[in-house]
Amino acid sequence: MPTPTLYIYSSSELEYSSNPAEDVYYYEIKIPEEIVLPANSVVNIDMKLRICMYCPNTDNRMYGVSVIPTNSIITTPLVHALGCTSMTNSTGAVDLFIPLRNVTDTAYTISSGTALLQFMFKQYDPFRVRFVESDHIMME
């Protein structure tokens, strides 16, 4: 199977590194703005990303991508609100929203630019990352 490409459009003002030159096995995503999660609450975070994964120059088959926590999430009182270890988006171009749950009795603040989550494909299969300039993710 050819290596699929994850196309990302970011509408936030965060600076992401340039497109990785090599295939990757994960790609960290950043919280787009400071967010305060009230005690014992669930917040659906708009990541301000539109994503689409497919294999260009083939049949352009769309693929789902998993969003899983980074190792650093264990230093926080946060868990996925869905109670699972990963979330997989539907195929096609989708806007990314992540539900997080604060499991403590005090509010918790996530700073802008914090990387608590990462994209992964299938069973740790490699993929490419390309940032695009338009929210209309185009096929090559």
Taking a C-beta distance cutoff of 8 angstroms, is the pair 63, 121 a contact?
A: yes
Structure-model confidence comparison of residues 92 and 123, the more confident one: 123
Contact 37, 43 (CB under 8 A): yes
Which pLDDT score, from 0 to 100, does residue 109 have?
A: 96
Confidence category of residue 137, pLDDT binned at 50, 70, 90: low
Distance CA(88)–CA(77), nearest Å, equals 22
Question: Is 80 exceeded by the pLDDT of residue 28?
Answer: yes
Q: What pLDDT digit, counting tens, does each position of 60-110 carry?
A: 678 888 888 888 888 888 876 654 444 555 566 778 888 888 999 999 999
Residue 84 burial by CB count (10 A; 0-12/13-18/19+): exposed, middle or buried?
exposed
For residue 140, pLDDT beyond 60: no
- What number is the average pLDDT over the span 16-29? 82
- Give the pLDDT confidence score for residue 8 in this predicted structure: 87
pTM: 0.80
Task: Using a pLDDT cut of 70, give the percent of the chain over it.
Answer: 81
Gap between the terminal Cα atoms of the chain: 17
Domains of the chain (ranges; CATH) run: 5-131 (2.70.40.10)
